[in-house]
Structure 1
Amino acid sequence: MTSKSADSASHLSPDNCVLPEPQAWRALIALCIGFFMILLDQTIVAVATPKIEADFQASINQVFWITSIYLLCIVVPLLFTGRLGDRYGQRNLYRIGMSIFVLSSAACGFANHVETLVIARGVQGIGAAILIPQTMSVINRIFAPSRRGAALGLWGAVGGLAGVVSPLLGGVLVGGPGWEWIFFINIPLGVLSLIMVTLWVPTMPRHARTIDIPSVVVSLCAMSLIVYSILNGPQMGWSIRLVVMIIIGLGGVVWFIRLQQTASSRGTEALVPLEIFHNRNFSIASFSISTMGFTVASMMLPIMFHLQDGLGFTPQKSGLVMAPMAAITVIGSPIVGRLSDHCHPRNLSMVGFGLTAFSLAWIGISILRDAGLWWFLAGVCLMGVGTCFSWSPNSAAAMRTMNPRFMGAASGVYNTTRQTGSVLGSAAVGAAMQMAFAHQSGVSGSAGIALLLPAAALACGFIAVSFFEADKISE
């Protein structure tokens, strides 16, 4: 987009931000680069963990925090950063978040102590938390309602692709130039995204006039207590201290909801307008995407343990085994995205969540029964098809009829539930594998049992999306 068109966009009315389709697609590609990087860094570090542990002579707890601090710093501020986009502009917030992410990625790659790496990963998470809700907000404002499904199809393809590409790309980088390059690769990609966003994403009307500081403080404290406790529970044996922290955190959530109810009487705007939950499809989709987050964050750990420790595959070969899922996701998601512009969201989502749950159960049982690699690959292909039908229809159902005034807040809530599901999935599946291994199930047996957890989570998502209502699509 030219600077003239970008400037003129600032004078658009809140309900008239739709761009000509070629410009909208260019903007979407620019945003998807950042979204891909964020999700990639959520899982790719697992491939490099053994090498990082050896190079720094780090303890298990230190290595654990390399991943956990990233998740913690993403989840905790998401409600707040979504509203910041409404207040100061999604384009501005995206560029700030990406700049922080690129600089902290460089710091991660140059880190010469594990403590430095952990701190840099925390800053990375903050940058990710700033830009994540902006991507979804912009997509839903620059595309006409009848075209958002196709746009979210590409967005969904990127989300699915990042999860399955990470083992392959991580294996290549760690086995080649070194683990530092899983961070250095973010620098050229991030700079490219910044340039493209500056050129092609317009300056859009802003909605929120004030930021409710008490709500920000309470939400940050409550989410910190809850997420920290969940992440540390499996390692610390769910001590009384952690349980008390969760209870206090939940009390903070109740207080936060009360603050949103009383925002008008206090002369401010709610950080999360509770009106967004009157939208039935948004409420359902926010829950169902948490089950998908649970799955994406947790399924690769047992699968990689089975392939590498159980079958003796190299990281590169393990990544190639998952390649069919990546290929199917890339090809199928845009097609399903276009379908979601015309089909009932319930039907497509039920296919996606149901098939993905079935495929995970298939893979878990095939591992437990030692059915062989071909049965495993059949499950991987089925999972690719299920993933295509999950991301785009769910996202389209969530946001298509959302009031543009609340787009940033709604995007923050939607991504918070997804990331919270990721935290729960990482903790739950890790604990399940430890328990199964303690009962002498073996590496592959433990992996097979653990995969039944995300399958059960997605079964809950399947039930939820069966209650989607057909929405009226208008240009």
Structure 2
Amino acid sequence: MTNPSDAPVRLSEPAGRWVLLVTAAGSGLVLLESTVVTIALPSLGADLGASMAQLQWTVNAFTLTLSALILVGGSLGDRFGRRRLYLVGVAWFGAASLLCGLAPTADVLIVARGLQGVGGALIVPGSLALVQNAFHPDDRNRAIGWWAGTSGVAGAAGPLVGGALVDAAGWRWVFFVNVPLAVVLAVLLVTRVPESRVPGRPPRFDVAGGVLAVTALAGLTYALTQTSAGWPALAIGLAASAVFAAFLLVERRRPEPMLPLSLFASRQFSAANLASFLVYGALAGAFFLLPIQLQVTAGFSAWTAGLALLPLPVLTLLLSPYGGELTTRLGARTPLLAGSLVCAAALVLSTRIGAGADYLGDVLPVVVLTGIGVPLITPPVTSAVLSAVPDRSAGVASAVNNGVARVAGLLVVAALPLLAGLPADAAENPDGLDQGYGAGMLICAGLFLAGGVAGWFGLPRRAARPVQPLARRHASVTCPQLEADQAWMAQPE
């Protein structure tokens, strides 16, 4: 709820438009940073002498802290005030971005990227919660729809913006550009957005769960990334597995857990999250390798590589409503299987991308097919997750699904170079990269197929209830980011 002194705003009022702009800008900034860095990887790798493992960590450090702490960030906002935590997150994110841009070594950059993720975990949960609590009930759904579209555009623009910045000013400006944006956003946040918090006794935040989750995920990611270290990496992996078991034990016993394990008693919920893990992991792995292959092996510039990927977000934005309609008519499992098959076919075709690749003949069909397949995947997964639980649990179920998707991307990006046989110097070795790239894309195609099969056998023929209009038309826009924010909107207060 908003504070009693703050009357709800209307979308037609300047105050309402300011709230919408500021909240969407913050969420969009985090989404942008999630996608913009992939285009900069070859450039920063060459400049800093980074190995393939360090490039993996440049991506994964951000995802690790963001995915492990996002629910803790929402609890902190409920307790101390959402605008206040949003402001802390924006300031933290800006400072971490400055550190990323100034990083003298790859290791410093990795640490700074982890700090960026912490800032994102403070920003994301409060963004949509502020919209939910600031607007009059009659305008709330329209405001959320505008918020979703605006945020989604920012994430979709990431590769294009990243390519332009890298080619024009160098990879460091991918991070430097966040600093003035964060300053402007902080000023507008203080002057234009009312405070919001849970009245009465706020919910407890699961600090133990957050610490254990970060520790377990970091250890598993390290073990998968640093397999060349031998026994030390194996020992860390085993220790991380023990920490993860402790995390599950803690979550089972806590009255207000970060991860409610009781939800997984539903076969439909478990199957939907297994499918999410497989398909989102495949998507993250494929779009970790593809931008590097386009630049290092195929000879694309950073700008043209970003431009080459543009049809994917455009098609996702345009086709997501139709994916939702199909889910309503056919149930979740048929569109999910169809989308998984289309994406798997796209990644098989992507193995043709190599030295001297032609954009129209080799790259565009891959991007277009993926842009058709993804909108067939996200609405069914959202529908299956939400229809598997009571309405009162929709928020936390959506948040769990978001966490599963992020962890999948984290682990697949960590394991893929090992499984594909990429050499440590792949970012600077076109021949070595090209050999492992094809195997990596086929592995991701297999994950898509496995996700479709898991959904086909684990989900019912028909959804228990249709996707709500907002979820159908907007959840895919920021897939799966919007679902995490909706979790904090939907939680009862």
Q: TM-score, normalised by structure 2?
A: 0.73
> Does structure 1 residue 187 correspond to structure 2 residue 179?
yes
> In structure 2, which of residues 160, 163, 168 is the aligned counterpart of residue 176 of structure 1?
168
> Does structure 1 residue 454 correspond to structure 2 residue 447?
no
Deviation at 1:8, TM superposition (A): 5.0
How far, CA to CA, are the matches of 1:356 and 1:372 in structure 2?
Answer: 18
Deviation at 1:86, TM superposition (A): 5.3
Indicate how the Cα distance of structure 1 residues 316 and 161 shifts in structure 2: closer, same or farther if over 3 A, else same: same
The amino acid across from 1:251 in the alignment is A
Q: What is the match of residue 15 of structure 1?
A: none
> In structure 1, which of residues 296, 301, 322 is the aligned counterpart of residue 283 of structure 2?
296
Deviation at 1:420, TM superposition (A): 1.4
How far, CA to CA, are the matches of 2:18 and 2:324 in structure 1?
Answer: 17
Give the conservation status (yes or no) of the 8 Å contact 1:149–1:337: no
The amino acid across from 1:447 in the alignment is Y
Q: What is the match of residue 7 of structure 1?
A: 6
How far, CA to CA, are the matches of 2:394 and 2:81 in structure 1?
Answer: 11
Q: What is the match of residue 203 of structure 1?
A: 196
How far, CA to CA, are the matches of 1:277 and 1:26 in structure 2?
Answer: 40
How far, CA to CA, are the matches of 2:373 and 2:128 in structure 1?
Answer: 22
> In structure 2, which of residues 389, 393, 407 is the aligned counterpart of residue 420 of structure 1?
407
Deviation at 1:374, TM superposition (A): 1.4
The amino acid across from 1:232 in the alignment is Q
How far, CA to CA, are the matches of 1:202 and 1:404 in structure 2?
Answer: 27
> Does structure 1 residue 287 correspond to structure 2 residue 287?
no
How far, CA to CA, are the matches of 2:311 and 2:106 in structure 1?
Answer: 35
> Does structure 1 residue 329 correspond to structure 2 residue 329?
no
Q: What is the match of residue 255 of structure 1?
A: 246
Q: What is the match of residue 52 of structure 1?
A: 44
Residues 1-400 of structure 1 aligned to structure 2 (within 5 Å):
7=6, 31-53=23-45, 55-56=47-48, 65-85=57-77, 87-88=79-80, 92-111=84-103, 116-134=108-126, 155=148, 162=155, 165-190=157-182, 199=192, 203=196, 205=198, 209-233=203-227, 236=228, 239-264=230-255, 269-278=256-265, 281-334=268-321, 336-337=323-324, 344-364=331-351, 373-399=360-386
CA RMSD after TM alignment: 4.5
Please list every run of 5 or more consecutive structure 2 residues that lacks an aligned counterpart in the other structure.
470-493
Give the conservation status (yes or no) of the 8 Å contact 1:367–1:444: yes
Indicate how the Cα distance of structure 1 residues 379 and 25 shifts in structure 2: closer, same or farther if over 3 A, else same: farther
Indicate how the Cα distance of structure 1 residues 84 and 446 shifts in structure 2: closer, same or farther if over 3 A, else same: same
The amino acid across from 2:6 in the alignment is D
Indicate how the Cα distance of structure 1 residues 363 and 111 shifts in structure 2: closer, same or farther if over 3 A, else same: closer
Give the conservation status (yes or no) of the 8 Å contact 2:297–2:354: no
Deviation at 1:361, TM superposition (A): 2.1
How far, CA to CA, are the matches of 1:27 and 1:342 in structure 2?
Answer: 36
Name the SS for the 1:179 alignment partner. coil
How far, CA to CA, are the matches of 1:150 and 1:461 in structure 2?
Answer: 33
Q: TM-score, normalised by structure 1?
A: 0.76
Give the conservation status (yes or no) of the 8 Å contact 1:149–1:392: no
Give the conservation status (yes or no) of the 8 Å contact 1:349–1:465: yes
The one-character-per-residue Cα deviations of 1:139-160 (angstroms, maximum 9, x if unpaired) are 899999xx98996898499669
Name the SS for the 1:211 alignment partner. coil
How far, CA to CA, are the matches of 1:404 and 1:85 in structure 2?
Answer: 23
Deviation at 1:32, TM superposition (A): 4.6
Give the conservation status (yes or no) of the 8 Å contact 1:295–1:457: yes
Indicate how the Cα distance of structure 1 residues 419 and 26 shifts in structure 2: closer, same or farther if over 3 A, else same: farther
Give the conservation status (yes or no) of the 8 Å contact 2:29–2:154: no
Name the SS for the 1:126 alignment partner. helix
The amino acid across from 1:7 in the alignment is D
Deviation at 1:285, TM superposition (A): 3.4
Deviation at 1:182, TM superposition (A): 0.6
Give the conservation status (yes or no) of the 8 Å contact 2:225–2:418: no
How far, CA to CA, are the matches of 1:291 and 1:143 in structure 2?
Answer: 39
Aligned residues: 453
Q: Which moved more, 1:418-427 or 1:36-45?
A: 36-45
Name the SS for the 2:351 alignment partner. helix
Identity %: 26
Give the conservation status (yes or no) of the 8 Å contact 1:133–1:415: no
Name the SS for the 2:6 alignment partner. helix
Give the conservation status (yes or no) of the 8 Å contact 2:212–2:243: yes
The one-character-per-residue Cα deviations of 1:162-203 (angstroms, maximum 9, x if unpaired) are 3x6444322211111232221122235445655777756883
How far, CA to CA, are the matches of 2:7 and 2:386 in structure 1?
Answer: 25
How far, CA to CA, are the matches of 1:406 and 1:52 in structure 2?
Answer: 43
How far, CA to CA, are the matches of 1:21 and 1:75 in structure 2?
Answer: 31
Q: What is the match of residue 465 of structure 2?
A: 472
The one-character-per-residue Cα deviations of 1:41-82 (angstroms, maximum 9, x if unpaired) are 234334334443555566776666444432333344345335
Give the conservation status (yes or no) of the 8 Å contact 2:348–2:445: yes
How far, CA to CA, are the matches of 1:153 and 1:350 in structure 2?
Answer: 30
Give the conservation status (yes or no) of the 8 Å contact 2:351–2:438: yes
Give the conservation status (yes or no) of the 8 Å contact 1:356–1:458: yes
Name the SS for the 1:389 alignment partner. helix
Name the SS for the 1:176 alignment partner. helix
Please list every run of 5 or more consecutive structure 1 residues that lacks an aligned counterpart in the other structure.
10-18
